[in-house]
Structures are given as C-alpha cells and as structure tokens.
Structure 1
Amino acid sequence: MTPGLMLSRIAARIPHRTAVRHGSVTRTYADLFDHAARFAGLLAARGVRPGDRVALMFDNRVEALECYLGCLLGGFTAVHVNDRLRPPEVAAVLDDARVSLFVGSTGDPDLLVDNGFADLLARHAPLPAVDVGGDRPAIIGYTSGTTGTPKGVVMTHANLARIIRHMPVHYGLRVGSRCAFTGTFSFVAGIWGVMLPHLFLGGELSFLAGLPADEWIDRMVAERSQFTYVPSPLAPAFTAEVRRRPEVLRTLTGVLHSASAMRPEVMADLVDAVGDRFVETWGMTETGAPVTATVPGDWGPDCAADDVYASTGRPVHIATVRVVSPAGEDLPAGETGELLVNSETLFAGYHDRPQETADVLRDGWLHTGDVGRVDAAGYVYITDRLKDMVVTGGMNVYPAEVERALAAMPGVADVAVFGAPSERWGETVVAAIVAAPGAEITVEAVANWARERIASYKKPTDVMLVDQLPRNAALKVRKPVLREAYRNR
C-alpha cells in the first residue's frame, strides 16, 4: 500500500483528533487530509499528472505538510528544495529535476503559498487518493555531491512506506505520540523520518523550530509532549531547562539526536538529565532511516561499548554495517575503514544519474564515504569522511561548491575550503585563501560575498591566509595539511 493510501486511511479513523499545530494554527486529521486532497486536485487542474515532479520549497508552516501529503495522495513526485538555498542553487535543482510546477512560500515559485492559499484550495474538489506503483518515485530530496552539483536522492512509494513503518521502532514511538518538532522543512529527512511516521501513528505534530530552550520546554510541558529532537547546538540549553522543569519528564519518552556530532561530555550531561529516553542515531539521506541507533540499555553501567558516548549505537534490525579496507576487504573489529551499509530503506538511486548511483550502490551495499570502526560489542564509531564534506549544525556543506563561489571573489587568487571542529556546530567552514598581490581579504568580506551566492550556513566563518596551497604530485590540495596548520596557528 502506498504511503498516501496508508495515511489517508488512518486519518479517516481519527478525523477529529489534532494532527498538527503551529502557534495558533491547528489542523485536525480531517482538515489536514481534506486540504491535502484539494491541493492534489489543484495540481491536477493545472495539468500535473501522476508521476510528474512538483518542486516544494517551504519555510516552517502547516501548509507545507499539506502539500507534501497532497503529492503522496495524488501520485505526484514531490521534489524537496531546501528553503535556505540561494536563487542560483534553487535554479540548479529545478533544472536537474525538470519539474512541472514549483510551489512554495519563499523565493519565486510558480504557485505562492500565502495567506490566500486556503481560499484557493477551497475552489478545488478533493482528488481521491490514487494507488500508484510502489516503484514510482514519491519524494526526491536534493543533496550536493562532492563536485558541488545537486543530486536528487530518490525514495519510491514502497521505500517511503517501509521508512514510515520502521521509524517508530528505531525511536521507540508509541501510538498517538505527541511530537515537539524542532526541525524545519529544510531537512527532507525530517519529513519522512519524523512527520510522516507520527501521522502513521495517529500522533500530533507541534512545530517549535526557532524557540529558545525555555519556551521549547514550556510548550512541551503544556502540550504533554512525548518526543522531541535536540540539535547539537541546543543540547546544553535543553539540558539546563530539563533540570529547571523536570515535570517535562512525566510525559517525555523519547529524545532524539542525529545529523551532527555532539561532544561526548555534552551527551553524557544530556543523558544524565533525561536518562534512557535519549536516542543517538547515524544515517544519511541515502539510507532513508537510521543505520545505527542506541537503545535504553546502552546508557547503563553494563553497556559493553568501548565508549558509548562516542558511538552512534549498533546497527538497527533492518540494517547491516561493514567496515572495509581500500581494497574492499572486510576489516576486523576495532580497525578503521570505509563504512558500507545494507538496509531495507536504502534509496532507489540518484535522479537521472545512473553512473553516480552505480558508484555508491554496489551489489546492494551503499558505500557511504564515512570512515569509522565497529568495536567488539558491535557499536559503530564515525571518525572521518572519505568525501570532503563538512557537517555544520546538521547541514551538509560541500567544499567544492563554496570554493567555486569564492574563486570568483575579487582579490582571491586561490582557495581551498575545509571543516574545523566547532563546539556549537560540530564543524564550521574555514577557507584557506591565497590573496592576489595587493588584495586585502577579511573574514567579513568573504562571508558577505559567499552569503550573496550560496546558502548562509555554507559561508566560511573563518579565513586562513596562506602563501600557497599545499598540493600533492597530482596537484590535488592536501587538506589534512591545511587542517593541521589551522589547528596550530
């Protein structure tokens, strides 16, 4: 059964239950799915056919969820566009996806979702849910590659249904779970990994992104929240507020962290405050669901992990993890190599990129590009990346893309971008720049130049001026040398 049919049947059983709230805006299940079906009818009236691709770019709002659900109900392929992208980046995604319609609340979409959207929906008849083939693309989430070009990660209807069913197991979610959702629509994984599974459980979503920790906890107490997500930068403040208002623990059953590194001492303090409610996971857009996760018993004294606070837990029941050498040989426990993953929720491939799909999906195994090890007890540790990606605040930044933007800046003769440790964000973006003769390069100037051309989270937060970039015999920049020089400067 497709996710659209599956979720609409659940909604029909609990029409009057609250499904989602955002400030003063609330939707019952009946309201939410009526609006979604009318959005599907609107798309059909504009000539969009099942299987056609519809780009969706939203800030946080209830209407965004209605549009994603409408695409699932009508059999249209939703193309997720990060609302933090700059116009040239958005254009690259739209061009690659070849969309039939661009819908959103920001930017310059074909259909703007604003205050008159409800009236527009009311003028269209609901489109009944269609049962499209399970192998048809349901959602395409774009992620840049190591070359800095966008790649569409394809999740089929069948794959999405598996993700939605499995997530409650990974996160320990219960039927009717009330979720204090601190994520945004910038992350496609938040849609299929948190929002849709909660609707599958007949639960309630409350959008809380951007609230300071005290208001976040206050809302959780008032709404009797059972599940929330804690980004790395907010973990210390969240921990302090839980101790200030311990009554939040009366209903809270799950506290999730993922996407970016959290310092072990910060994680230990958080676990001390919330106990075995805490869940740490590792995954990526291409895996759909988590690959590894901790379980409640991991936080007790009998845990067999080498260092559970440095680990991402053990492989979940639907996934297998291998550690391999550069030659592809399996490595024993404790040795470091590339992590390969086999899982029931792996993506179908990159949109219209068969060679890049074949490069990472080989014999059913996803070559993640992450480097790590597995200890004797089966706990997985991520230690580095083969790919040159920087993860800052949970967002993926690809240096090649930033380098292209900075190379055009007046006064920049040569540039290399890399990640450096950050207590707040896990990693931060640093640019090593060779200045042209007589040029003056400042951090502020570089950040401003980048901000006008790429998403703000990708901009360098620090600049290291160098006489020349270190290169190997193949003229490739030796970024480990730059990282070491940055640490020691």
Structure 2
Amino acid sequence: MRFLARVAARVPDRTAVRHGSVTRTYAELFDHAARFAGVLAARGLRPGDRVALMFDNRVEALECYLGCLLGGFTAVHVNDRLRPPEVAAVLDDARPALFVSSTTDADLVVDKGFAGLLDSATPLPAVVTPADTPGIVGYTSGTTGTPKGVVHTYANLARIVRHMPVHYGLRPGSRCAFTGTFSFVAGIWGVLLPHLFLGGEVSFMAGLPADEWVDRMVAERSQFTYVPSPLAPAFTAEVRRRPEVLASLTGVLHSASALRPEVMADLVAVVGDRFVETWGMTETGAPVTATVPGDWGPDCAADDVHASTGRPVHLASVRVVSPSGDDLPPGGTGELLVSSETLFAGYHDRPQETAEVLRDGWLHTGDVGRVDAAGYVYITDRLKDMVVTGGMNVYPAEVERVLATMPGVAEVAVFGVPSERWGETLVAAVVPAPGATVTADGVAGYCRERLASYKKPTDVMVVDQLPRNAALKVRKPVLREAYLSR
C-alpha cells in the first residue's frame, strides 16, 4: 500500500477526497494516515497486530484504514450498522489489539478531538510488510449466523487494487462519486483504494436523493459512480432528465444484489455502454464476472445479457457443477465454483470452514446458476438460505435466533422473497403461542432493537405449523411459495 506515498509525492496538492465541506489533498491524506499509524505504534502496537475499525461515513475513516495499511497493521472491518451484541461477536472472534470507532464506546473514539490526536503524533514511516500478512479482515455471517472473518493479505489487496481499474474502465485521475458507505468492506478495496492508486478524487455522496446525486456529479464532473439497486429507477429517471451528466461520466457500476432485467435494460438505455454489471463476494476480493461495453450492443451472444452478470474476468474462471461435483455442460444449472487470483486467504481462525469452501484451488460459492454457450454467467438461487437485501448479506438463522426469544412466538422460520426496491426482503413465518397475536410491526420493532435494521423482516405470515420434511427440517420453499401465492 506504499502507492499513497508515491501519489502524494507526485501530486501533493491534488484533492484526494471530499465529504461536504471537508477535503484532503494527497499530501494531507498521506500525512494524516502516517500520523494515525504513529498513534497506533505509540500505543504499543506492532506490525501485524489487528485493529478493529467501525465507522460511519467520514474522511477520518479512510485515514484510519490507510494508516493501518501504511503501518503494516491488520485492519478488521466492523459494520457500523451492527447492534452492540453483533459488534461484540465480531470483536470476540477477531480479538483486536485496539478498537477504533466513531459511533460507540471503544478504545479510541474518533470524534472532534481526532485532529488534535494526529497533531501530537509522530508520523510513522511506511512499513515494508510481508506479503502474506493479513491486510484487511472483512466480516461476513456464516450459515449459522455467526460472524466469519474473511482474510485478505497485503499481497492480495495489491492485486485487487491493480485489477479493479481494468473492468471498471478507470483512467488515471478518475473522479468518483462514491455512493457506498463504510458499512461495506468491499467498497474500501474495490472503489476507494483503486481511485487513490490512480491519483483520483473520491467524493462521498452516500444517502443523497437521485436529483442531488446527479447535481453533484454535474458540478464535480464525476467520471465514475455506483448505483445501488434501490436507487436504480430514480437514478435512471434523473439521468434521462439531465443528460449533461453523461458528458463526464464514463463508468456506472452495479453489483452486490439482483437488479431486475427490465430495470437494468432501462438503465442501459440511458447510460449506454458506460454500464458495468459484476458478480463477486467478500471471499473473492475482486469481482469474478463483469460485463464489457460490447455486451450492450445488438451483436451480444448472451442468452439474456440483462439477466446475466457478464463473463469471467481475466483473473478468474467459473465452473458449474452437479451435486456430485461433476462439471455441467453450458446451460446446466448447479453450484458455481470460482478460481481467481484474488481469492481470500481463508477465514480468520477457522481452518475447517476454510477447507469446506476452498478445495483444490476452487471456491465453492454456495450460489446456484448456469453459464450459457457464450460464457455469460447467471445467478439463479443459493444453496443456502442467505438473503441479499439492498446489497447486505442476511442469514435467516441469525434472525430466527432473535425472534425465538420474542414473547408470543412459538416457532419461526425466516426466508427471502423478491423485492422491487431491495432485490430481496425477509419474511417471517410465525407460529404464535396460544392466545398471542404477532404483527409485522411488532416483529420489525423487536428485531430493530437487537439487529441491524436491514436484517429485520418486513412482513409476517402467521401459520398454524411450520412444514417439515422427514428429517424435521423446515421446508422453506413451501413457505415461500405459500407466501408468494397469497
């Protein structure tokens, strides 16, 4: 991650990042990152020690991540949308030497006194870090709802950062309208670091309505942006109304959750071959598949390009296998396996779970899909129950454990259903206790107090009993079909 020093030396006065009225030049960003590394060293931390970071959207968050990477530390990403028990579970698993946060009690709270802390710190020179040192650990829930730390080494982060500009079509100096937040670890290594690597400018725009978002892009001559699924229709309408934004915009990315084919087609009709659709996951680091400009023309050989995630990128390969592990021919539906130069090193302190998904160099993704004759990949389902809502992974087992403690709930099963706004949303099938009444508002409120808001069910289906198979496992497809046919 020493590229920051090189860029700061080459263009010290260029704006690197802006958030409202707060800006940092490359010289300032590098200095603040080096001083934060100095703060960690002064507290007795040594290269390789883990530092947990939990931040809302702010420039200081970026400075802390960069400081960790400059100093050879391991940054442990903690989603700031998690509730205290969830944060505690991550910290218990990661066992960091220091917890730094902007939103809760921590060993070091980044607030208005952060500038003074940096002013009194001695900048730490960039450390030459062994390639296999964990650089960032991003947490994702397991199939049982317990957090797992996805480890990406310094060497792999370097590969990811150098790879991203290729399929995003980024040029040196690219100006990014960053609509992501620090809730998503992939936004750090997938968007922020690559733009800084290119000497670009990152402008935080998360949470803006589509009209203000486009206004800002016009004013700042943004060249790249990310379109979350819920905002895709409003963004499309706004760009159609204000086509002048296309004078500078060269890349429009969508990923992380399903976008309905007709919504994607409408967006492509407005932005053209600037649009990029990708598929990947925390474990793959960089995307595994991506569309390219030629995919949006009439000569595209895909079965249905607007339903696909593109073809494998140049660093990755994709296989489709049957339950017995045999490769399936084009069009066959099975589990998607991935081989990539940017795969994670494993789950933190979980060798058995690592071995279960990484076999002979192939990541068993748990996603079900197919590859057509032209090589385009389609995601059709998941082997496990994970639900992707608004780009955030939610495991029903975690929500079920919480709802099992709710007064009035005798039994519960949580599953995902399609949502026009979020891609998917959660529904709770509840067997009420005798004499109890369970409502959607009550379930949502109970979960909101104990889980991140995006994990709450948005509807409730009251049932007399949960359908089960011979092994007494709940048949969630039956529940899903019953809910959708109501």
The answer to whether structure 1 residue 411 and structure 2 residue 402 are counterparts is no
1:202 to 199, 202, 212: 199
1:124 positional shift: 0.4
What is the one-letter code of the residue matched to 2:154? H
1:460 aligns to what? 457
**Cα deviations across residues 117-169 of structure 1 (Å, max 9, x unaligned)?**
01111000100000110000000000001100000000000000000000000
What is the one-letter code of the residue matched to 1:355? Q
What is the one-letter code of the residue matched to 1:36? A
1:109 positional shift: 1.4
2:81 aligns to what? 84
Give runs of aligned pairs for residues 365-384 of structure 1, distance below 5 A.
365-384=362-381
1:128 aligns to what? 125
In the aligned structure 1, how far is the partner of 2:399 from the partner of 2:30?
Answer: 40
2:4 aligns to what? 7
**Structure 1 residue runs of 4 or more that deviate by more than 4 Å after TM superposition:** none
1:115 positional shift: 1.1
1:459 positional shift: 0.4
Q: Secondary structure at the match of 1:383?
A: strand
**Cα deviations across residues 57-114 of structure 1 (Å, max 9, x unaligned)?**
0000000000000000001100000000000000000010001111011122111111
The answer to whether structure 1 residue 148 and structure 2 residue 145 are counterparts is yes
In the aligned structure 2, how far is the partner of 1:188 from the partner of 1:295?
Answer: 24
Q: Give the root-mean-square deviation of aligned CA atoms.
A: 0.5
What is the one-letter code of the residue matched to 2:277? E
2:169 aligns to what? 172
**Cα deviations across residues 262-293 of structure 1 (Å, max 9, x unaligned)?**
01111011000000000000000000000000
1:264 to 245, 261, 265: 261
**Percent identical across equivalent pairs?**
86
1:161 aligns to what? 158
1:139 aligns to what? 136
Q: Secondary structure at the match of 1:9?
A: helix
1:451 to 437, 448, 451: 448
**TM-score normalized with structure 1 length:** 0.99
1:402 aligns to what? 399
**TM-score normalized with structure 2 length:** 1.00
The answer to whether structure 1 residue 254 and structure 2 residue 251 are counterparts is yes
1:113 aligns to what? 110
Give runs of aligned pairs for residues 61-72 of structure 1, distance below 5 A.
61-72=58-69
What is the one-letter code of the residue matched to 1:155? H
What is the one-letter code of the residue matched to 2:336? L
In the aligned structure 1, how far is the partner of 2:106 from the partner of 2:11?
Answer: 34
CA contact (8 A) 1:170 1:290 kept: no
The answer to whether structure 1 residue 36 and structure 2 residue 24 are counterparts is no
2:306 to 304, 309, 326: 309
1:12 positional shift: 1.7
In the aligned structure 2, how far is the partner of 1:66 from the partner of 1:57?
Answer: 13
In the aligned structure 1, how far is the partner of 2:222 from the partner of 2:477?
Answer: 44
Q: Secondary structure at the match of 1:241?
A: helix
In the aligned structure 1, how far is the partner of 2:167 from the partner of 2:397?
Answer: 34
1:217 aligns to what? 214
Q: Secondary structure at the match of 1:373?
A: strand
What is the one-letter code of the residue matched to 1:138? G
In the aligned structure 1, how far is the partner of 2:45 from the partner of 2:452?
Answer: 30
2:358 aligns to what? 361
1:7 positional shift: 2.5
1:49 positional shift: 1.1
1:340 to 334, 337, 342: 337
Show structure 1 runs of 5+ residues with no match: none
**Cα deviations across residues 34-63 of structure 1 (Å, max 9, x unaligned)?**
000000000111111111100000000000
Q: Secondary structure at the match of 1:403?
A: helix
Q: Secondary structure at the match of 1:369?
A: strand
Q: Secondary structure at the match of 1:427?
A: strand
2:96 to 93, 96, 99: 99
What is the one-letter code of the residue matched to 1:263? R
Q: Secondary structure at the match of 2:317?
A: strand
In the aligned structure 1, how far is the partner of 2:6 from the partner of 2:350?
Answer: 35
The answer to whether structure 1 residue 441 and structure 2 residue 438 are counterparts is yes
1:212 positional shift: 0.6
In the aligned structure 1, how far is the partner of 2:380 from the partner of 2:332?
Answer: 11
In the aligned structure 2, how far is the partner of 1:426 from the partner of 1:323?
Answer: 24
1:11 positional shift: 2.0
1:9 positional shift: 1.7
In the aligned structure 2, how far is the partner of 1:219 from the partner of 1:292?
Answer: 30
Q: Secondary structure at the match of 1:129?
A: coil
**Cα deviations across residues 293-339 of structure 1 (Å, max 9, x unaligned)?**
00000000000000000000000000000000000000000010000
Give runs of aligned pairs for residues 49-64 of structure 1, distance below 5 A.
49-64=46-61
Equivalent pairs counted in the alignment come to: 486
In the aligned structure 2, how far is the partner of 1:457 from the partner of 1:107?
Answer: 19
CA contact (8 A) 1:40 1:70 kept: yes
CA contact (8 A) 1:282 1:291 kept: yes
Give runs of aligned pairs for residues 223-262 of structure 1, distance below 5 A.
223-262=220-259
1:10 positional shift: 2.1
What is the one-letter code of the residue matched to 2:402? A
Q: Secondary structure at the match of 1:15?
A: coil
1:386 aligns to what? 383
1:289 aligns to what? 286
2:422 aligns to what? 425
In the aligned structure 2, how far is the partner of 1:424 from the partner of 1:212?
Answer: 15
In the aligned structure 2, how far is the partner of 1:196 from the partner of 1:72?
Answer: 11
In the aligned structure 1, how far is the partner of 2:253 from the partner of 2:485?
Answer: 35
Q: Secondary structure at the match of 2:152?
A: strand
Q: Secondary structure at the match of 2:303?
A: coil
